[in-house]
Structure 1
Amino acid sequence: MAEVRVPALVLAAGGGSRLGGRPKALLSYRGRPLLEHALAAARAGGCAGTVAVLGAAAEQVRARVETGDCRLVDNPDWRTGLGSSLRAGLDALPPDATAVLVLLVDTPGVTAEAVRRLLAAHTARTDLAACAWAGRRAHPVLIGAAHFPELHTTATHDTGARTLLATHPVTLVDCTDTGDPTDLDTPTDLTHWGIP
């Protein structure tokens, strides 16, 4: 069996329009930017490298975030929605990737343990998997390389991987006990996470 190589793809391009134009990658949570939390979860969870897609405030992100050996990719079309960032990230993956683990920068409660569980699902020959929190599918998701061409075609505007996941069987991996899937979209969400 071929070696399994699953890099993480962190989508971190959003401008935080519903948060008063505060780019999510730079929001400080527990003393460091959200992007650092996502990269740390990917690394500690066992991903084979990381790619992060930047958009809003990309120069400031590069200057202020410790990204280590993460490959940073600029998405000049980030304002068109999540889909363009997903496509830009897919194009930047190493050619030997057997799957990709997609993480959103605005889910600081996603832990390394959730990442490990998704990677374990892939090694069990599952090529589409998603974390389930109390029975509800959420992020992160794992997408096998065989689906990359279809994902590249269907990831438009803000749909991301939704179309792909809606038309193929997806293995749900219970992560209820590993953290909190709540994302950061509104000022109320900032309060949930204790972000000023």
Structure 2
Amino acid sequence: MHVRSSAAVSLLVLLIVLLGGGRAEAQAVRVEAGGGWAIPSTEIDVPVQGEDGAAQIDPGSGPSGYVAVGLMRRLTDNLSLGVRVRAQQSQLRVGSDDISPGTCAGVCPGGRLRALSLEGQLHLTSVGRIAPYFLVGLGVARTTIDGTRIDAGGTTFQLSETDVTDAGGNVGFGAALRLVRGLSLTAETRVTGSLPGAKANAVTTFPFTLGVSYHFEHP
């Protein structure tokens, strides 16, 4: 609960600064898209249909992608503040070695972590063409794992589908490299997914992504 409260306070402060009064040198709309690789950190207990027990799935890493749109506001010569909405998805790959006990009886299940968040970013703009930044966001995260059949000791069992929606968010850091006017290349590492104290089987991932962003000033 303390982590959730701290993230909420940080995001609220960023929103007040961005949308509140005071002069700003420039304000711009920013759009961004990117992708990379995400490493999950959560094991999932999946009920066995018709049985009292559960199988454990330890999903493997997989591709991740995101799109985002928001506002950027230049505060000083050294700092810029951004607030945006980010939609993202990470694939949770599952193989026979990721299931205990047993192995896939046929096609192994697929899984996904989808998240939608309101995110704040604080950019340090005084380091030449490279602008490092810190990000924090709050929203909702949904974890899904397809139902599947497994073979354990020569007996076939049916695993239920997993579908968990919970409060989620992002915390991380990155850097933006200015290519030409308005166009930048971004690199990020972050923690994405359900927050501490989440529901059972809610997954958290560690995405490493590259992206391209474009911003244009508006009145």
Please confirm whether the aligned pair reaches a TM-score higher than 0.5, indicating the same fold.
no
What's the TM-score bracket when you normalise by the shorter of the two chains?
under 0.3
Greater strand fraction, Structure 1 or Structure 2: 2
TM-score normalised by the chain length of structure 1:
0.25
Greater helix fraction, Structure 1 or Structure 2: 1
TM-score normalised by the chain length of structure 2:
0.23
